[in-house]
């Protein structure tokens, strides 16, 4: 398979209307781009559907030899973009038939399940003698058109450009299925240039509450349960974290506790040992990368109790200005960790940055002492060894908002450049407007926006 290079640009969706570069007061560059797109077609009679442009290859079919091409990927992007603006959700199988879905998710799932819990992202290319830059992306939450813009703005994955996605591909936004399928396709096409990590919304509980399950059922009808089940299986295979160029740790939520077990000497013999787990908030200690590598990530919902707590911590935890580790009582799962923990983790593993996601503008407005998410990123901890960054890539989030006044936040992505990869270059962008008109797949007026007060009893813990 030949990877594309910047010297041979692939065909792509229409360019954004405008883009401007500005420099922030701390010396980091922020690129703000505004994209516009035509609104969805609503003038067609109910009993007729618009004819797709001749250049689109519809329906999408899986290549006979099972090898994806760059042209196939870009056709997928353009088909998803067109169908989201022109077809009702129930017509989605005419765009991506179940057979093509099955082939894509099977290949992608096998690939993801083989990856370790913490993937190593190596931008140094000894064969070509070159070094790639790395783009880190935060939550996208089914906002397909903003993702399409981000990919074009940052430059598509190539020999010289690696992407690391921090999870939360689905839920809340109306095009979670298209978003997830598109990223899986890029992963299959470029397995060493695209890394997909798991977010807390890649779970059975969240997708049943925040819309993805209903979205799949609306788009695939009687095949919906099959498609949803396959997506859940793929979610289980998504890695939990990455280390970029040996100096940057990325994960959806962030740091995690040690779950070292201590056998009691009460009785002899392994069968009769009593196991004590390090759960008490008074004895919480930071976990190690070795413990992370041994965690069991193949669970539909990361448990909030028991011995397998690391996946839940990595996906659900939040930073705090207060020192130490503490239970994350607001969310009911995961931890809060302070600047001292960030310093300890960075110093122990000789890292310079932690880049995590997980908190949008709705969550951040409730976090005392932490900056808001209006720019798509915040720098939460600055310590001797480096920085902790929160990155959020869904602009004008959430798509469906119960209040008249919207957050109107920017989305952002980070570029890490060689040779050191330790200086985060921020690129901010605004939402693609107008968004196609579509109904929400969840009751956004009643569902809590910031994932607080989870119904933990309904979450699967096995």
Which of 167, 136, 215 shows the shortest CA–CA distance to 417? Answer: 136
Q: Is the CB of residue 273 less than 8 Å from the CB of residue 223?
A: no
Catalytic-residue membership of 201: yes
Distance of CA 98 to the CA centre of its chain: 24
Task: Copy the structure tokens of residue 204.
Answer: 């059975």
| Long-range contacts formed by 122-129: CB under 8 A, 24+ apart | 122/245, 123/162, 123/244, 123/245, 123/418, 123/421, 124/245, 125/159, 128/159
- SS3 labels along 211-259: CHHHHHHHHHHHHHHHHHHHHHHHHHHCCCEEEECCCEEEECCCCCECC
Integer Cα distance of 168 and 207 in angstroms: 10
Name the catalytic one among 201, 252, 358, 381.
201
What are the angstrom distances between the C-alpha of 458 and each of 172, 205, 217, 447, 462?
A: 20, 7, 21, 15, 12
Asked if residue 238 lies in contact with residue 201, where contact means CB atoms within 8 angstroms, the answer is no
- Round to whole Å and give the CA distance between 294 and 440: 38
118-121 vs 318-319, strand pairing mode? unpaired
Q: Are 357 and 199 in contact (CB under 8 A)?
A: yes
d(CA 325, CA 86): 49
- Catalytically active residues, by annotation: 201
């Amino acid at each position: 398979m030949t990877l594309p290079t910047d010297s041979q640009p692939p065909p792509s969706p229409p360019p954004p209307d405008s883009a401007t570069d500005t420099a922030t007061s701390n010396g980091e560059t922020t690129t703000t781009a505004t994209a516009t797109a035509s609104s969805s077609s609503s003038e067609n009679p109910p009993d007729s559907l618009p004819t797709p442009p001749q250049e689109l290859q519809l329906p999408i079919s899986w290549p006979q030899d099972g090898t994806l091409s760059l042209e196939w990927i870009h056709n997928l992007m353009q088909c998803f973009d067109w169908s989201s603006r022109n077809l009702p959700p129930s017509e989605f199988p005419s765009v991506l038939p179940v057979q093509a879905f099955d082939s894509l998710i099977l290949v992608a799932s096998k690939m993801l399940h083989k990856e370790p819990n913490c993937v190593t992202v190596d931008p140094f290319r000894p064969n070509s003698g070159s070094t790639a830059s790395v783009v880190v992306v935060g939550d996208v939450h089914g906002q397909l058109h903003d993702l399409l813009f981000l990919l074009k703005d940052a430059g598509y994955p190539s020999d010289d450009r690696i992407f690391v996605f921090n999870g939360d591909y689905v839920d809340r936004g109306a095009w979670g299925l298209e978003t997830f399928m598109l990223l899986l396709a890029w992963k299959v096409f470029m397995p060493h240039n695209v890394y997909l990590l798991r977010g807390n919304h890649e779970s059975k509980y969240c997708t049943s509450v925040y819309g993805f399950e209903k979205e799949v059922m609306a788009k695939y009808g009687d095949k919906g349960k099959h498609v949803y089940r396959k997506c859940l299986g793929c979610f289980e295979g998504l890695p939990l974290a990455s280390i970029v160029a040996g100096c940057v740790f990325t994960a959806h939520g962030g740091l995690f506790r040690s779950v070292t077990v201590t056998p009691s000497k009460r009785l002899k013999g392994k069968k009769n040992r009593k196991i004590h787990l390090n759960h008490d908030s008074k004895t919480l200690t930071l976990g190690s990368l070795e413990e992370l590598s041994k965690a069991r990530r193949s669970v539909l919902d990361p448990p909030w109790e028991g011995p397998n707590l690391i996946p839940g911590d990595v996906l659900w935890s939040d930073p705090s200005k207060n020192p130490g580790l503490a239970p994350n009582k607001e969310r009911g799962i995961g931890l809060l960790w302070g600047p001292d923990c960030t310093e300890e983790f960075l110093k122990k593993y000789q890292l310079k940055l932690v880049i995590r996601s997980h908190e949008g503008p709705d969550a951040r407005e409730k976090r005392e002492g932490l900056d808001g998410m209006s720019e798509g990123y915040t720098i939460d901890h600055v310590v001797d060894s480096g920085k902790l960054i929160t990155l959020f890539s869904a602009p004008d989030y959430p798509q469906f908002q119960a209040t008249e006044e919207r957050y109107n936040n920017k989305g952002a992505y980070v570029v890490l450049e060689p040779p050191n990869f330790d200086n985060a270059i921020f690129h901010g962008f605004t939402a693609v407007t107008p968004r196609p008109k579509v109904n929400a797949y969840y009751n956004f007026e009643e569902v809590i926006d910031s994932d607080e007060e989870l119904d933990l009893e309904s979450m699967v813990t096995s």
